[in-house]
Amino acid sequence: MSSKPIPFWKLSGSGNDFIIIDYRRPIPSQDEMRMFVSKICRRGLSVGADGVILIKPSSIADFGWHFFNSDGGEVDMCANGTRCAARFAYENKIAPAKQTFETKAGIVKAEVLEENGVKVRVQLPDPSPIHLGMEIELGDRVLTGHFVNTGVEHVVYFVDDLEKIDIIELGRKTRYHHLFAPGGTNANFVVVTDRHKMMIRTYERGVENETLACGTGSIAAALVATALDKVESPVSLLTRGGMTLEIDFRQEGSSFKDVCLKGDARIIYKGEIEQEALQI
């Protein structure tokens, strides 16, 4: 990495916070990037964030990205991150309000909206088929989970009370369960409140903790609940951070198309990463 200070913006999508860097040139080796990301995502010693987004050129869209979780691992998709990337690209005149960008999971369509503050609506690549009714043994408990890949892997559990669930214990056991080896999975715990509303808490792989919101997890929960005829589009999900994510989609038999997510994408601050932020 350069020894010069690195300009960045800090954005938050419904409580998920990201360091975004305009990096429209070749990135360092994967090993170097993993260490860089893990160091700047440390809270208390560095900038601190749930993940890092690098904006790069694309020959097939307005721009492309690399997305890294806070542990330095690169992943295909982060739905809350897509909204923040879209807002960053729009504010920096990299892309217009209506835009497309390239991810490892496919092309994302986004639109920056002036709607009770700035919100972003994104249309994500179609999810994988849903696997319903999986009996998952977690220590001395067996929970019924449902699996879907909405850009990244998610297990969804329906529970009676979100406050009585040990998210860290059950989330971590699910994340490392042999059924989802070797890559692991995210774990979502949800309560359905009516045909269009749910509440959700998520344990995120790569962050290795509960996060205030997870866009792909919220989408997974909404699609699984629809497949089980618990809800129908559109669905609003109240996240742990107190923000609401809005999801709409088309159901075609057992498949889902045109999956869209709308939520806030707020600019928190702008700054420069100094070399001292990378020290042990």
78 is catalytic: yes
Active-site pick, 41, 84, 214, 260? 214
138: phi then psi, degrees, rounded to nearest 5 = -120, 85
Strand, helix or coil for residue 157: strand
Distance CA 207, CA 245 (A): 20
Q: What is the dihedral of CA 207, 166, 131, 137, to 10 degrees?
A: 110
Pairing state between β 98-103 and 63-69? parallel
Residues in the chain: 280
Q: In angstroms, how far is the first alpha carbon of the chain from the final one? A: 16
Distance CA 247, CA 215 (A): 9
DSSP state of 43: B
Look-up of token digits 């889902």: 256
Distance CA 155, CA 136 (A): 10
Give ∠ CA 90-92-94 in degrees, rounded to 5: 65
DSSP assignment of 72-109 equals S-EES--HHHHHHHHHHHHHTTSS-SEEEEEETTEEEE
- Residues annotated as part of the active site: 78, 214
